[in-house]
Amino acid sequence: MLPGPLPGLVLTWQIDGLSAFFALVILSISAVTGIYALGNGRHHASFPGSGGLYLLFVFAMLGVVVAGDAFTFLIAWETMSLVSFALVLTEHRREEVRRAAWVYLVMTHTATAFIVSAFLLLARGSGSLVFAEWTAHASASDAGIASVIFVLGLVGFGTKAGMIPLHIWLPQAHPVAPAHVSALMSGVMIKLGIYGLLRLSFDWLAPGPAWWGALILGLGAASAVLGVLYALMEHDLKRLLAYHSVENIGIILLGVGAAVMARALGLGAIVALALSAALFHVANHATFKALLFMGAGAIDSAVGTRDLERLGGLVRRMPFTALSFLVGSAAISALPPLNGFASEWLTFQSLLQLGRLADEPQTALLPLLAGGALALTGALAVACFVKAFGVSFLALPRSTQAAAAREVGALELIPMATLALLCIALGLAAVPVVTAIGSLVPAAMLPHDGPALGLAAPAGGRLVLPGIALALPTFGALALLLPRLLGPVRARVAETWACGIALQPVHEYTAMAFAKPIRLMFRDIVRPVRDIGVVHRSGTRFVASVHYRSHIAPIFERYVYEALTDRLVAMARVVRTLQNGSLQTYLAYLFAALLVALVLAR
């Protein structure tokens, strides 16, 4: 307990394994993005003190994970939200930036309202604001109240995490912020929603009914599949990455949901497996998402646009950025032997084992279905990053700015290369890392008779990524070298075949065309809207120009949020008749209120 900054205000701190793990993620990623900010920040119209705000942001995130009571937690949480709101507003002269920041502010405060409600209920049950007291009183609380607390907390923390359908702020706020801020928000800040959810469901509440886990699993599967589908429909590189954060939060939630469900069913071994899957994916996603956002920032500053349709050919102009971005793309697409594959492997295993060991058919089927959703997500993520990397870095540049792009400086390249190496290292060292994560998780969360954590599933199935990482280059080298025994061959350089004419950038496949088969296959979900306009030359039937636009209907914004805001506006209108702006009316209200007060006080 430390004396607070104000008299009478006492801030308590606590550090256990879970806090330390999240603190490690926060500090290591923010150190790397901080160096990147030194190089890339000069491309953004910054304001005095933005560097200090950046540090305050990191400090506030750290405060969230080491807070020991509800009051301290909320102070840190609100500081984090407000400072990140200010950082999103860095380029506040643009209308879209102000709008996105506003959406973020509203969403994050709605989330805080839910969290405060959950905290007040928890405090009422235990008679204290200190987290340790909540843990001590967890088993004494009423089951109905516990469920209410759980749902309130899930909504609050889920909004911060970017869980569907509470994700709408994320694809708006992340693209408009400077790259180092979006890297930190997408890579680290949204994970604190996961931190809160873990504390809530494992520390502050006793094991609940199985539907808690089922609810998280369902929301996780929806976030994963819809997140990647929306990402595929995007042509703005940073928005695409923001939707991938929704997807990866979904994958993490699948692990969390499996753990919560296993805890409810009393399956200790699965709790350990699923929790380590979720936490490992937290670290992995922080690594490759920060890397990819920094890569997008490098492209943005070198080309001046994030629109995929105006990029292309950057692999020759920015080879080092391209290599780092390629590693990040492969890692987020869960390709072996990188880190994303290791944590998705653990998630698959926990879902399968949970399905096998659950008694009831309905509880058994849900994790297995979530596994199917995860497979769909993985395959769509491969499609999305073939698009993102292929269209921006390969083939011919699609604009003069892309053709004139130059490689970014060392202050940007070194952070990207560091995280790219970390993606490889976390994959190869998956076993020691997962073992370390397993020992970090507080003992109260893990059953003592759980198996030693490692990349071996309880009932068979092993993954030795260093082995695969050894086999792949060996066989790749053999495939290239063995044919040389047949004698030397030459490689002649010539033009790409474009049916007899010289290849132009307009002949290339665009990002929109690339995603078209998937857009059509999932048209019932993404609802594409097509808009074709043909302009004729005046007085003739000759076509002067054709314009084609395709976009997808914003389902959640339209049917959930617009409906909600319309209600609110309608209610505000009713209230407005009371607030008519006339002094006499207000005096009449005062008089009436005074009368009522006197009558009541009599």
Partner 1 sequence: MSEAVTAAGLAFLQLAVFLALAPGVNGLIKQIKALLQGRRGPPLLQPYFDIFKLLRKDSVVSDHASAVFRWAPAVYAAAFATAALLLPVLWIPAPLAGWGDALALVGLFALARFALALAGLDTGSAFGGMGSSREVAVAALAEPAILLALFAVAWRSGGTDLSGMSAWLQTHGAAALAPSQLLAAGALVIAVIAETGRVPADNPDTHLELTMIHEGMLLEYSGRPLGILMWASLLKQTVLFALLIALFFPFGLASSAAELPLALAVLVLKLGALGLMMSLVESSSAKLRILKVPELLGAASALALLALVAEVVVG
Which parts of 133-152 interact with partner 1 (CB under 8 A)? none
H helix or E strand, kind and range, residue 552? strand 543-552
Residue 556 CB partners (closer than 8 Å, separation 6+): 164, 165, 167, 168
- DSSP letters spanning 376-403: HHHHHHHHHHHHHHHHHHSSS-SSHHHH
81 Cα distance to chain centroid:
16
Q: Which of 29, 416, 463, 552 binds partner 1 (CB under 8 A)?
A: 463
Decide: helix, strand or coil at residue 380: helix
H helix or E strand, kind and range, residue 254? helix 237-265
Phi and psi at 266, nearest 5°, equal 75, 25
- Candidates 76-84, 233-241, 375-383, 563-571 — which segment interacts with partner 1 by CB under 8 A? 375-383
Distance CA 84, CA 184 (A): 10
Contact 548, 534 (CB under 8 A): no
Minimum CB distance to partner 1, residue 216 (Å): 20
Touching partner 1, residues 567-586 (CB under 8 A): none
Touching partner 1, residues 513-532 (CB under 8 A): 513-518, 520-521
Q: Binding to partner 1 by residue 220, rule CB under 8 A?
A: no
DSSP annotation of 363 reads H
Residue 546 CB partners (closer than 8 Å, separation 6+): 532, 533, 534, 535
Phi and psi at 534, nearest 5°, equal -110, 125
Q: Which of 27, 74, 151, 364 binds partner 1 (CB under 8 A)?
A: 364
Decide: helix, strand or coil at residue 546: strand
- Candidates 14-22, 54-62, 367-375, 438-446 — which segment interacts with partner 1 by CB under 8 A? 367-375
Decide: helix, strand or coil at residue 51: helix
Which string of x and - marks every residue 421-460 that binds partner 1 (by CB under 8 A)?
------------------------------------xxxx
Minimum CB distance to partner 1, residue 556 (Å): 22
Alpha-carbon separation of residue 152 from 79, 109, 159, 201 (angstroms): 21, 14, 11, 12
Distance CA 182, CA 300 (A): 13
Touching partner 1, residues 309-338 (CB under 8 A): 313, 315-316, 326, 330, 333-336
30/353 with CB nearer partner 1: 353
Minimum CB distance to partner 1, residue 214 (Å): 15
Touching partner 1, residues 144-203 (CB under 8 A): none
Touching partner 1, residues 468-497 (CB under 8 A): 468, 471-480, 483, 486-487, 489-497
Touching partner 1, residues 238-267 (CB under 8 A): none
Which string of x and - marks every residue 295-314 that binds partner 1 (by CB under 8 A)?
------------------x-
Q: Which of 156, 295, 328, 371 binds partner 1 (CB under 8 A)?
A: 371
Q: Which of 31, 136, 148, 379 binds partner 1 (CB under 8 A)?
A: 379
113/521 with CB nearer partner 1: 521
Q: Which of 165, 505, 528, 554 binds partner 1 (CB under 8 A)?
A: 505
How far apart are the two ends of the chain, measured CA to CA in Å?
47
